[in-house]
Structure 1
């Protein structure tokens, strides 16, 4: 009987001790949650203030950001197009002459399209005087481009590769011109 009473007392003490610890840990957990909640609120307020500062800075420099981003956007497009053409046309360049002609044609058309788009942006960005200089330079570039293509094609004159070499030279010159216009004139 003594053992039973001792056992009941131990169980009761264990129960009371456990209940006491539960209350303490609940209180501790509640305090920790309050601290975390307060820290999050303060952090949110700081983030909101930081966002407001960023928005104000962006609004102040909005014109500069747009101009810088146009130039960077076209450089990104240039490199993206270069990679896409390299990936998509690699198999065609190692194929038949017809495949190679098709690949060169796609490449030239792609660079020419980008060049025309860049030229359009420059017409919007540059003053009349600056654009006049670009037009004159463009006319000279066209003459040089065609001359280089002709010289390259003359090296294989009369062969099946002549038109391929001619258009390949046009594509390469047009690609280089895109890069020049972006770097030298685009804002």
Structure 2
């Protein structure tokens, strides 16, 4: 099971954390925090990456944890394979959440498949959504976008989230969200004056 309790630390502008503040912000007890830190450091070590430094009650978070999502999910992006259902679900969810234009080449990058596979998945997704009055449309200016009735769009997003497997599907979604949105948790943490 993937744990997101430490994300507020990783995506905050603050890079040096006192133990007391970590426990307050994450609502973790000391033992659970130590266990989670040790597990994450083991994953970093497995990938020959620099471990997070924790000394004298202070945790130092680098500006960017290398291969963060790969480390979190213990995945090598070059070796996993998404099912057709997962790919279609991710295409829908990426269009649903994205604020910037999406192109076929971006889908190829995110999903690590060929252009023809993306085109085939888009065609099947469009057919699937047609019965529910949701359309996947494309324009050069907007990229791919959804034409829909709001309530249906959200219900369908929930449906497609259920199609993702813990390891590969959520890995891609998390990677895109963290790269593009800088985790809404970071904004929340700033509002709390961390």
TM range (shorter): under 0.3
Q: State the TM-score, normalizing by the size of structure 1.
A: 0.27
Which is richer in helix?
1
Q: If you compute each CA radius of gyration, which structure gives the higher value, 1 or 2?
A: 1
Q: State the TM-score, normalizing by the size of structure 2.
A: 0.26
Which is richer in strand?
2
